[in-house]
Amino acid sequence: MKRELWLIFLVIFVDSLGFGLVIPTLPFIATKFGASAIIIGLLMSAYPFFQFFGSPILGKLSDRVGRKPILSLSLLGSAISYILIVFSQSIAMFFVSRSIAGLTGGSISVAQAYITDVAQGKERTKAIGMIGASFGLGFILGPLIGGLLTSYGLAMPFAFAGILSFINAVLIMIIVPEPKHHSVKKDKKKMNMKIIREVIEPKIVLHLILLLFFMSLSASLIQGVFPLFASDVFKWDARFTGIFFAYIGLMLVIAQGILLRKFLIYITEKRLIQISLFVLAFGFLFIYQERFVYLGATLIAVPFGILITTLQSEISAYSDPSEQGVVLGISQGANSLAQAIGPALGGFLFGNFFFKRLFISVLYLFL
């Protein structure tokens, strides 16, 4: 692969490392300020909610002024949000911090747009897969490092993540080149619903974004309540749940970093999407049974990792080359909206219905 792609992978790895550093610690530091379980849930949803609005705007800006400055801006926003939490004295400041992080959280979609400028066809899909693998690897290592840093205080992971994000933003401007094949657009049109409709006007693009939305909704619906289910039914403690989610993260890295490239040698992306959707739905039949829970996790994580990559690649392939940033921003926004709705919907289903019905609901989403 080209040198600039490896630099982008490094940037995403460091970004996700910072993200992974703070997410496990956030509920505990919020509890110190008297946050209830509902408030913590809203706090966790604030990031994807505001990312839903921010990603398309950042994508549009990257089409207009270039990938480098917007990628750097996104990471500076992350740095500011982390440092705000270090000095926060109220829950309101926590919400301000997570809102800023969400509004500027477009690093993944802008990085994907960068890749579409320098790679084509199956090479583009493989490169987008490596972005997912880089993010997954950082998200696996982040909680481990964050756990060690908490011995110096709950605020230490946030301070470290803030410094890491700031250094990452500076390095982008110094060592990452602007894509040679990216032509900066000179139009002055502002982001609005008309532009969004124009960008997703091809029906195939709209259908792919909707598929991405419902797939992410299904996964986040389960993810948000599985720790509660595992505690109530499997009698798992936080350690076993942490190991389980680390295993899922590892499977995502393997799927996006290794298996995807192997599968694309033998089958087309369209066929791979069809097979992955079937396997993913099948996996939900096993995950609520303790003796099969790791089999179910594998059958969910591997196709999910493949789908999140191939769908983004297909969305890019069917879109106007001059609108890559905005269309990938819209798809990331749809993904973020699903991640904001999913945990709340999962909590409602878990609290009001027998848990197996939650998985049946997920299967209906896929059908």
pTM given for the model: 0.72
DSSP structural state of residue 323: G
> Is 173 a member of any domain?
yes
184: pLDDT strictly greater than 70: no
pLDDT at 110: 87
261 CB-near residues (< 8 Å, 6+ apart): 126, 129
> Is 135 a member of any domain?
yes
For residues 32 and 93, the answer to whether their CB atoms sit within 8 Å is: no
DSSP structural state of residue 202: S
37: pLDDT strictly greater than 60: yes
Considering 19-23, 66-70, 222-226, the range whose residues carry the highest mean pLDDT is 66-70
Percent of the chain with pLDDT over 90: 19
> Is 182 a member of any domain?
no
Instruction: Return d(Cα 319, Cα 258) in angstroms, integer.
Output: 27
CATH number at residue 141: 1.20.1250.20
How far, in Å, are 15, 260, 271, 280 from residue 257 at the CA level?
17, 7, 19, 18
> Is 183 a member of any domain?
no
> Is 216 a member of any domain?
yes
pLDDT at 295: 95
> Is 65 a member of any domain?
yes
Q: Residue 233 is inside which H or E element, if any?
A: none
How far, in Å, are 82, 85, 105, 142, 143 from residue 26 at the CA level?
10, 9, 17, 13, 11
192: pLDDT strictly greater than 60: no
pLDDT in tens, 17-27: 887 777 767 76
354: pLDDT strictly greater than 80: no
35: pLDDT strictly greater than 90: no
pLDDT at 224: 65
> Is 184 a member of any domain?
no
The type of residue at 148 is L
Q: What is the mean predicted confidence (pLDDT) over 34-52? A: 78
pLDDT in tens, 277-297: 889 888 888 887 889 999 999
> Is 189 a member of any domain?
no
Mean residue pLDDT of the chain comes to 81
56 is in which domain, residue-wise? 3-177+194-366
Question: Which residue has better confidence, 150 or 252?
Answer: 252
How many domains are there within the chain? 1
